[in-house]
Amino acid sequence: MLSQVVMRNFETVVYEKKYNVAYVTLNRPQVLNVYNTQMRDELCQVLGAIRDDSEVMVVVFKGAGQKAFCAGADLSEFLSAPSPTIARRVRWERDIWGLFLTLPQPLIAALHGYVLGSGIEMALCCDIRIASEDAQFGLPEVGLGIIPAAGATQTLPRTIGQAKALEMMLTGHRISAKEAFEMKLVNRVVPRAQLLPTVKGIARQMTRCDPMAIRSAKQAVMRGLDLTLPEGLELEKRLASSLLQSKARNSLG
């Protein structure tokens, strides 16, 4: 079992491991944890370390401070770049969003306060989203002359359906935690004080399960979403049998 490990060498992200759970905290509370290129680079390092760490069974993402999980992209970087397009291109130099989607462990987002732009997009890269009652969700990009480009044009309609996704995206209208729950954007809404205890409770429940079974179940669901039902069932059969085989090998070895 893991003891507690905190990696201190980051400025915009805090990374801790406690008893097989990795906690990633977006840590720019003075500017509502907005996402800048430094955060992108630090997250890339953290996610790469998590992906290759067999001791990490579950990952929790959360935001520091009282006001926000993440209020989107850092607009000061957009304003100082020659153009929003160039600012965007700089962000695409590293495929952080693709990296999120390759993590084999379950990812849980603990969402409070403002969850805007890339904040929603990061939450959509997670498997389970728990919100506190004060959370507000919105995609302000079109009002800024850009489109969401950290995956939301694809992940949001797959999560809440085409019509609701387009309404959020094309109006920039912000929705409450209650509305987010009703449209299945989040799994649960809890009082603010219960947010972390709830998320930790879910994570702990997962750590009591077989780690290989957890990863295989996630893989079956995530890969299956892009397949036909017969293909998905075939995938399920393959994963179930390879899980059994590796368990048999482990019990022999």
Q: Looking at beta carbons only, is 31 or 240 nearer to ligand COA?
A: 31
CB of 46 vs ligand COA, minimal distance in Å: 21
Decide if 121 is catalytic: yes
- How remote is the C-alpha of 167 from its chain's centroid? 22
Q: Looking at beta carbons only, is 32 or 126 nearer to ligand COA?
A: 32
Q: Looking at beta carbons only, is 32 or 189 nearer to ligand COA?
A: 32
CB of 245 vs ligand COA, minimal distance in Å: 46
Q: What radius of gyration do the chain's Cα atoms show?
A: 19
In this structure, which amino acid lies at residue 88?
Answer: R
Q: Looking at beta carbons only, is 144 or 212 nearer to ligand COA?
A: 144
CB of 147 vs ligand COA, minimal distance in Å: 10
Nearest alpha carbon to residue 28 among 20, 40, 19: 40
Q: How far apart (Å, rounded) are the C-alpha atoms in residues 230 and 221? A: 14
Total count of residues recorded for the chain: 253
Residues that bind ligand COA (CB under 6 A): 31-32, 34, 71-76, 114, 116-117, 140-141, 144
Q: Looking at beta carbons only, is 59 or 120 nearer to ligand COA?
A: 120
CB of 74 vs ligand COA, minimal distance in Å: 4
- How remote is the C-alpha of 213 from its chain's centroid? 21
- Tokens at residue 33, please? 């944890």
CB of 31 vs ligand COA, minimal distance in Å: 4
Decide if 42 is catalytic: no
Is there a contact between 11 and 38 (Cβ–Cβ < 8 Å)? yes
Is there a contact between 58 and 89 (Cβ–Cβ < 8 Å)? no
Beta bridge partners of 15: 7, 24
Q: How far apart (Å, rounded) are the C-alpha atoms in residues 58 and 203? A: 6
Which residue of the set 121, 167, 182, 234 is catalytic?
A: 121
Q: How far apart (Å, rounded) are the C-alpha atoms in residues 108 and 125? A: 9
Is there a contact between 59 and 24 (Cβ–Cβ < 8 Å)? yes
Q: How far apart (Å, rounded) are the C-alpha atoms in residues 197 and 207? A: 15
Residues serving a catalytic function are 121, 141
